[in-house]
Amino acid sequence: MKYDTKILGIGYDTIIEASELLKKGEIVAIPTETVYGLAANALNIRSVKKIFTAKGRPSDNPLIVHIYDQSQVSLLAKDVSEKAKQLMDEFWPGPLTLVLHKKKAVSDVITGGLDTVAIRMPAHPVAFSILEECQLPLAAPSANISGKPSPTSAQQVFEDLEGRIPIIVDGGSCDIGLESTVLDVSVDPPCILRPGAVTREMIAELIGEVSMDEAVLDPLKKGAVAKSPGVKHRHYAPDAEIEIVKGTDIAVSRYVNRAILKDNVDGISAVVLCCQEHAKNYPFDKIILGSVHHPESIAENLFNSLREIDKGGYKKAYVQYYETEGLNAAIMNRLLKAANHNVIDVG
Ligand code: TXA
Ligand code: MG
């Protein structure tokens, strides 16, 4: 291990220390309102490369550049459309990442060789203060080991990256709990590459037509080129096998309870991930996701719940399929990826 990783509480000293390290070319884990990010100076290629090493991230998976002021967009991107500007005015700072045509100043190391760059202005006051203090655009992916669920607390970052990074700035647990919406505005109509807390419905209300990339809810077709390279890598996945069960509440609980009984006979320890309203239907081990009436509560808990599956030593986990309106699109996108699209329809 190269570093004696420290978790620092928030305060002015921490903001200064984080920003000094970033200016020196180090990488630093920072809280955002979505998930924790692993930040580096986007204008320093050697620093950006450290991110890929620390995370074990494939080099073709591009990074989001974080800014704190709209004026920074023109340093990084060109041909910014009217719709893109409207979206910035409405949703920045916040959980919306915009994919724009890149300027030469943005390195291929950040974009994975694409001619576009993803930009976001986070709303978290700590992320915002660090960006403002260091005066640099910061490249930052989620601060997890590649392939694992994104971290929503400083402790989870520590579990994944201890020894690999110098400091983690502890800003408490993340409000939203799922990564930002990634919207490609280099095409018209704009296209959602990754759903998040800024939903398709919210975007459509502002700018009209918006499409959703097929890979969001369906497996990437064989031989197809991923529009967002992130989608082709296994993601958000615990070591356990996950099965998503589609059907009415009753049909799903009957199927899951039988399956868990059978797993137990076979010596496989299994668990169900369910909403608190459905908990009474499941007499066996369960992890509560949140309330079916409040998808925000499920979003906030989802990555914790996925990490709990492995911590509990379970080899199999079952979860109900939820319809994909609003924030549920983001929840189901993460669950489908975690389950490797293992879905059964029980009617
Ligand atoms: O909420 C978030 O977005 C968090 C916080 C830290 O800001 N960041 C995050 O970064 O989730 P990451 O690297 O884990 O996910 C970035 C996603 C990937 O799916 C990547 O493929 C996509 O954004 N992406 C980045 N640049 C892109 C580009 N130029 N074109 C298409 N997709 C891009
Ligand atoms: Mg990630």
Per-residue model confidence as pLDDT tens digits over 311-335? 999 999 999 999 889 999 999 999 9
Q: Which range, of 12-16, 28-32, 234-238, 299-303, averages the lowest pLDDT? A: 234-238
pLDDT at 227 over 90: no
pLDDT at 1 over 70: no
Report how far ligand 2's centroid is from the alpha carbon of 251 (Å): 34
Q: Which residues line ligand 1 (CB under 6 A)?
A: 32, 34-35, 37, 61-64, 97, 99, 111, 114, 116-118, 120, 122, 140-142, 179-180, 182, 193-194, 228-230
**Three-state secondary-structure class, residue 208:** coil
Nearest alpha carbon, ligand 1 atom 6: 37
Domains of the chain: 6-216 (3.90.870.10), 241-345 (3.40.50.11030)
Comparing C-alpha atoms, which of 163, 168, 129 is closest to residue 39?
168
Mean pLDDT taken over the chain: 95
Q: What integer is the mean pLDDT of 241-251?
A: 97
Q: How many CA atoms does the CB half-sphere of 139 hold within 13 Å?
A: 28
The pLDDT of residue 324 is: 87
Nearest alpha carbon, ligand 1 atom 10: 141
CA distance 321 to 248: 10
Q: What integer is the mean pLDDT of 138-147?
A: 95
CB atoms within 10 A of CB 342: 12
Q: Which atom of ligand 1 sits closest to the CA of residue 227?
A: 31
Report how far ligand 2's centroid is from the alpha carbon of 57 (Å): 9
Which residue from 142, 145, 174 has its CB within 8 A of the most atoms of ligand 1, so it is best to mutate? 142
Nearest alpha carbon, ligand 1 atom 33: 228
Buried-exposed string 81-112: b where 16+ CB fall within 10 A, e elsewhere: bebbeebbeebbbbbbbbbbebeeebbebbbb
CA distance 238 to 287: 14
The pLDDT of residue 230 is: 67
254 alpha-carbon distance from chain centroid = 32
The pLDDT of residue 147 is: 86
CA distance 175 to 35: 8
Q: Which residue has the higher pLDDT, 62 or 347?
A: 62
User: What φ, ψ does residue 71 adopt, rounded to 5°?
Assistant: -65, -20
Peptide bond into 58 cis (omega under 30): no
pLDDT category of residue 95 using cuts at 50, 70 and 90 = very high
| H or E element in which residue 206 lies | helix 200-207
End-to-end CA distance of the chain: 51
- In this structure, what token pair is assigned to residue 28? 């630093």
Q: What integer is the mean pLDDT of 50-60?
A: 94
- Please give the model's pTM, rounded to 2 decimal places: 0.96
pLDDT at 233 over 70: no
The pLDDT of residue 232 is: 63
Q: Which residue has the higher pLDDT, 238 or 250?
A: 250
Per-residue model confidence as pLDDT tens digits over 7-23? 999 999 999 999 999 99
The pLDDT of residue 64 is: 98
pLDDT at 238 over 90: no
Q: What integer is the mean pLDDT of 101-110?
A: 97
Q: Which atom of ligand 1 sits closest to the CA of residue 34?
A: 1
pLDDT category of residue 231 using cuts at 50, 70 and 90 = low
Comparing C-alpha atoms, which of 270, 244, 240 is closest to residue 331?
244
pLDDT at 2 over 80: yes
pLDDT at 162 over 70: yes
The pLDDT of residue 181 is: 98
